[in-house]
Structure 1
């Protein structure tokens, strides 16, 4: 009974953290002016070719600088790691495939929103990197959950 209560509390905390994370994600990806997300671009950029922008960022890494390359390549992965982790904590129906697919769909929704509103830019490389981040988050959840279970004696 005590273990079930603890699991329920952990899941409730996961739900709260997940909601806060999604609100942050929506703001950051769609409305934050940190990356010029406010206003509509006059010349809209988009990329439908997988690895095109990743390759470009890597090839011109010296000219672009560490921050720009890190933000584009690693930032797109890192921003979706919490999604993969918290959705697994908050949900009873979890699994690698379900988690990664839902993260991919969320990222696709963001990219399509950016395409139609011309805020930000549609990029299949972002979709790929976000999905990788979601997978990493789920793997971190599995590791942490295994440690927790071992510690709790389950």
Structure 2
């Protein structure tokens, strides 16, 4: 089976599922106040220091990276996004909009660390995509 065709079939439902998680999943509810965290890295460090559960740390911090790896493959669907610079600019623009919706809906927090971690996940996905294309050309076509 060709990976690109499978990816094209899966990425839209995956995106919808991820948006659901970001606004309604994992016990989210509408908060009383709008919250914004704009100090890079600090909110993640504070979260790790204040959280006693390794599971919670892994779920939040690693989840913010791992869940976005599939978006590093968007060049398979949109050839313009094959270039890392274009992919990064477009992704950061979209994820900032999503974070803003979380802020204005009070269904999450606008957190610059989320933008950084999510973008790192996309970068890892892009690296994996490049590796797969070089190493397994017959599977990726």
TM-score when normalising by structure 2: 0.86
Q: Determine if the alignment matches structure 1 residue 106 to structure 2 residue 113.
A: no
Give distance in 2, aligned partners of 1:106 and 1:57.
Answer: 25
Give distance in 2, aligned partners of 1:46 and 1:68.
Answer: 21
Partner of 2:135: 147
Give distance in 2, aligned partners of 1:65 and 1:31.
Answer: 22
Tell me by how many angstroms 1:14 deviates. Answer: 2.8
Partner of 2:44: 54
Partner of 1:73: 61
Question: Structure 1: which 4+ aligned runs deviate by more than 6 Å?
Answer: none
Residues 34 and 104 in structure 2, CA contact (< 8 A), matched pair in contact too: no
Residues 57 and 64 in structure 1, CA contact (< 8 A), matched pair in contact too: no
Q: How does 1:6-21 map to 2 (within 5 A)?
A: 11-21=4-14
Tell me by how many angstroms 1:12 deviates. Answer: 4.1
TM-score when normalising by structure 1: 0.79
Residues 21 and 83 in structure 1, CA contact (< 8 A), matched pair in contact too: no
Q: Determine if the alignment matches structure 1 residue 41 to structure 2 residue 28.
A: no
**Deviation string, structure 1 residues 120-151 (Cα, Å, up to 9, x no partner):** 111100111001001111111001111122x5
Tell me by how many angstroms 1:10 deviates. Answer: 5.2
Tell me by how many angstroms 1:97 deviates. Answer: 1.1
Tell me by how many angstroms 1:27 deviates. Answer: 1.0
Tell me by how many angstroms 1:50 deviates. Answer: 0.8
Secondary structure at the counterpart of residue 120 of structure 1: coil
Structure 2: gaps of 5 or more residues:
none
Give distance in 2, aligned partners of 1:26 and 1:129.
Answer: 16
Q: Over aligned residue pairs, what C-alpha RMSD do you find?
A: 2.2
Which of the two has higher C-alpha Rg?
Answer: 1
